[in-house]
Amino acid sequence: MTTARIPKATSTAASDSAALRAFLTRLHFYVGLFVGPFLLIAAITGTLYVLTPQIEERLYHENLIARMQGPAKPLSEQVAAARAVIGEGPRLFAVRPSTEPGRTTRVMFTEAGLGESETRTVFIDPASLSPQGERITYGTSGILPFRITLDYLHRNLLLGDIGRHYSELAASWLWVSVLGGVLLWWWQRSSVKPASGRADTHRRARRLHTVIGLWAALGLLFLSATGLTWSRWAGNNIDLLRNEAGWVTPAITTALNPKEDQPVLGEHAAHGMGMAVETAAPADEAAMVARLDAVIASARAAGIDSPMVEIRPPRSVDEAFRVSEYDRRWPTQVDTVAVNPDSLAITSRADFASFPIVAKLIRWGVDAHMGVLFGLANQVVMAALGIALTAMIVYGYRMWWTRRPAPGGSVRTLMRSFSYLSPMTKVISLALAIGFGVALPVMGVSLLVFLLIDFFRAALGEMMAAEQRNMPPGMR
């Protein structure tokens, strides 16, 4: 009887595939072990955030729901009522008229001590002009303190800019973990065998970890990609790429006499609200407030038809009013116009319909990530993804705990797995690591940390193995 010989090329290919599998398994394990806690925090806080708009509505009912029914008074009178409440110190930043009968108007002010994109908002009953309290509000979404806290927890763990690295770390590695997990499942899908006891516990956890991951994979990739778009370091690189490719979001200029180098104001202009205009005389607030009703009428005539609209008065005599829609539900209404305070002419505009498709996709992606694009259905889907990610991480740690190495056992490291790869696979892996490390800097730095931990694990394992070898036979 003759024995079939495996061709050398086939044997080498199989060996390379096994080595790549071992390397990806070790990388997947490291991402889960070290990045898992950050992903878990992001999943829990993100789930809480998307589930709480209705809670916020109940918590701040006294601020949001007008006490008196009737026709709204002019916006200029509503702003004057808010100014009487807040005093002369804070600067008027914007006005958000009541979106429907029975809702209050928001008059927003800035002052020292507020965070980026935060405003001190006075709520005015548009029919009676009576104030209904004041709160700190945040961003274009205008969320109130309860959800601001959840938002900061999700974004930076209440640690400011330093804390933003945690969420960027989670977003940077989530897609790697998901794709690696799917690939490992594909390779190992027929290798699961029945077992009992501790092995059975491990396999149950592995099966649930895998099934949840496969069902949620596309959604988790979406969360990773959209999360990176507003991260600190990777987000800046994405913005640079968009600028180079011409995928920028169209924006307006509020300058009445724009210069060639005059910056335009896009959807994130609120982030620069602490920046003063030093080359022009400040605008007269009383005069600007008196024009509010005429300005909004001009903007309405120019196509600003969403009930969710924000008016920002000019900060200097050389600027126009900025009137923008902020309805990010489907269909999205985020058109913006600049209105000359004297002639009431439209001096600049940016219509969502004219946005490049990439800018639209990013806008929709971010809004879907926040759970606002499709209303309640969007909230449910995002919450389901958050719960799925939480369960995957818990089962992942359970898998590790049931198979954790015994003290003094053999140490499997990432670098040892890497050493078994073919030369070509090593070159490709290094090129990918460098490329993604530059594009996603937090990923690059954390990968170096992984390798450092890997080195010390290997060194410690060698020391423990040497000690055991040197022990007398009866003490081993």
Locus of tokens 């992942």 = 396
Residue 314 has pLDDT above 90, yes or no: yes
Is the domain of 351 the same as that of 386? no
Q: Note the pLDDT of residue 402.
A: 86
169-219 tens-digit pLDDT: 999 999 999 999 999 999 887 655 555 555 678 889 999 999 999 999 999
Domain presence at residue 58:
no
Domain shared by 30 and 162, yes or no: yes
Summary mean pLDDT of the chain: 89
Mean pLDDT of 320-335: 97
pTM across the whole model = 0.88
- Give Dmax (Cα) for the chain: 103
Q: Please say if the pLDDT value at position 275 is more than 50.
A: no
Is pLDDT at 310 greater than 50 in this prediction? Answer: yes
With respect to residue 57, please indicate whether it lies within any of the assigned structural domains: no
Shared domain check, 109 and 180: no
Q: What is the pLDDT of residues 226-271, one digit of tens each?
A: 999 989 999 999 999 999 988 889 999 999 987 655 544 444 443 3
Q: Are residues 259 and 124 in the same domain?
A: no
CA distance 106 to 124: 7
AA identity, residue 145 = P
Domain with 224 in it = 8-50+158-231+375-475
The reply to whether 465 falls in a domain is yes
Instruction: Please indicate, yes or no, whether residues 137 and 162 belong to a single structural domain of this protein.
Output: no
pLDDT at site 282:
87
What distance in Å separates the CA atoms of residue 200 and residue 223, rounded to the nearest whole number? 32
C-alpha atoms less than 13 angstroms from C-alpha of 315 in its C-beta half-sphere: 17
Measuring CA to CA, which residue among 238, 245, 279 is closest to residue 262?
A: 279
**pLDDT for the residue 260:** 58
pLDDT on residue 278: 45
Within-domain flag for 369:
no
Positions of E strands within 243-320 = 309-312
- One domain for residues 415 and 443: yes
Same domain (yes/no): 263, 347: yes
The pLDDT-based confidence of 127 (bands split at 50, 70, 90) is very high
321 and 194 both lie in a single domain? no
Q: Which of the residue ranges 100-104, 308-312, 454-458 would you say has the lowest mean pLDDT?
A: 454-458
Please indicate, yes or no, if residue 241 is contained in any of the structural domains.
Answer: no
26 and 163 in a common domain: yes
- Indicate the number of domains in the chain: 3
Q: Is residue 200 domain-resident?
A: yes
Q: Give a yes or no: residue 236 inside a domain.
A: no
| Domain shared by 333 and 265, yes or no | yes
Judged against a pLDDT cut of 50, whether residue 44 lies above it is answered with yes
pLDDT at 277 over 90: no
Mean pLDDT value of segment 308-324: 96
- Average pLDDT (357-384) is 96
Tokens of 11: 């044997």
* 442 Cβ contact list (under 8 Å, min separation 6): 165, 168, 169, 172, 231, 233, 234
Alpha carbon separation from 103 to 88, 100, 125 (Å, rounded): 26, 6, 7
Q: Which residue has the higher pLDDT, 263 or 107?
A: 107
Co-location of 80 and 123 in the same domain: yes
What percent of the chain has a predicted confidence (pLDDT) above 90? 75
Angstrom distances, CA of residue 34 to CA of 94, 202, 432:
44, 20, 21
Four-CA torsion 194, 197, 203, 205, nearest 10 degrees: 150
Q: For residue 226, tell me if it sits in a domain.
A: yes
Same domain, 86 and 113: yes
* Last residue in a domain, options 355, 386, 416: 355
Structure tokens at 79: 């702003």
Residue 116: closest CA among 146, 82, 156, 86: 156
